[in-house]
Amino acid sequence: METQTPSGRKGRAIMVLGATSDAGKSVTAVALCRILSDMGYSVCPFKSQNMSLNAKVTADGHEISMIQDLQCQAARVEPTFRVNPILLKPTSDMRSQVIVEGRPVGVYDVPSYYGEFIPQKGFGILRENLDALRDEYDFVVMEGAGSPAEINIYDADIANMRAAEAADADCILVVNTEWGGSFAYVLGTLMLMPEDDRRRIKAVLYNNVRGDTSGILEGAAELSRLTGVPVLGAVPHLDCRLPQEDSEFFRHTDSVGDGDAVIGVVRLPRISNFTDLDPLYGEDVTVRFVRSPSELEGCGAVIIPGTKNSVSDMRWMRSSGMADAITDLRGMVPILGICGGYQMMGRMLSDPRGAEDPDAGDTPGLGLFDAVTSWPSDDKVAVRDEGVFNLTGEPVTGYEIHMGRTETREDPLFTVGGKPEGSVRHGEMLFGTYLHGVLERPAFRRHLLSLMGEVPAREGDVYAEDLEAAIDGVADGFRKAMDTGLFRRVFMEGF
């Protein structure tokens, strides 16, 4: 049975909505979670439905979106499946694996998801988990998805206003000013919403303002007079770097960093868990996202990241010429494959049942390891891991999320739970592992960078320290930009 909030009443729900996708909902929720936690309240994030290929694993082996895991860190609470009870992981343009309360329940196309799953199960899953969190925490900071005014799916949209209704939430509408047209985005969103839902929008927050915020605030005040919805604030562009939630990141980013040493990361069509790369952004390197063989020129290391569809992405590697370009670098630069990338480094990906890809059959891998990956069942591995880097005996940590199983004849890269994990050929600088997050601890990251030459790797658990500093920096930026009096009056009444 869930414990009750200290006051014995239902927790207060605050919902962050976006006038568009990539409006800054996630980072706003991160900021609010840390701000409320700093004030001494118990607080927890919640997103009823998230579509993302960046996932994390809870302590008890449930899969949730990476961003809700980060928001839990901001709130200083241990993540559970309740913070993200429905996770959609696209396997193709029209189909997604559906994760319910941390476990996969099937693959749905758009018509079957909105026509069957949502009305039959979705609303119940939303209410049950939301009620449990409101019984336990003073505040639940909810995050919407996309726009709350998608009129084509409005009645079936459990990620936005139906979730707000279930929680009786007061809502903040966030808009990204960097895109231009922010006032029109706000007005159009409000006009498309039914009156009952529109009344839940208690404030507008203008996000990611470049330069002086006074000009935005003047226009925002005029729009407030037109709509009757007050302005919560104008948040300037913040340089505090948080992990990116989804592939929108790649729309405007070709590389990160400005170091002389370049790490080429293969930008797979179904790339997943690319937050594995985040610890490298704090090193003296340039991380370059590559999609063609020519972009590998000058790279001192190559990383093949995770993917939601190893078979399909391996075929893309062949057709694009990336496969030959990578194998040509064998023995010349370190090559690391993580999860799906590790699977592709083997001799074969055997999928006779079509579990990974509808085009069932055997697909040749890169042949860098004497290893074969198959999909013998629909069982999914989701677990946190601790172990050691076999070369040095130093600790490594991470988490596994995968359905394929890899049989390898190579030496193990790590020892996890007393068992061999991954594959390695030290003489050829080839590394493969199922461990996401393996670069967060210094041991293996330091070794990988040392193979690139004179790259001074940072010592200690600096990534964890950097992440905490980034969360605090974001919270401080929002706190300074917001009308805290308005926030207390409207969103914290009674607490």
The answer to whether the CB of 64 falls within 8 A of the CB of 81 is: yes
User: Hey, is 284 helix, strand or coil?
Assistant: coil
Known catalytic residue: 436? yes
CA 312 to chain centre: 22
- Which value, to the nearest 10 degrees, does the dihedral of the CA atoms of residues 309, 311, 313, 318 take? 180
Residues 6+ apart with CB under 8 A from 148: 17, 18, 157, 160, 161, 164, 171, 173, 189, 193, 197
For 49-68, the three-class secondary structure string (H helix, E strand, C coil) is EEECCCEEECCCCCEEEHHH
Residues 6+ apart with CB under 8 A from 120: none
Enumerate the β-bridge partners of residue 287: 256, 263
Q: How far apart are CA 176 and CA 206, in angstroms?
A: 6
Catalytic residue among 72, 339, 402, 447: 339
Q: How far apart are CA 206 and CA 216, in angstroms?
A: 8
Catalytic residue among 72, 171, 402, 436: 436
Q: How far apart are CA 458 and CA 259, in angstroms?
A: 14
Known catalytic residue: 339? yes
CA angle 72–383–446, rounded 5-degree value:
80
What residues are labeled active site?
339, 436
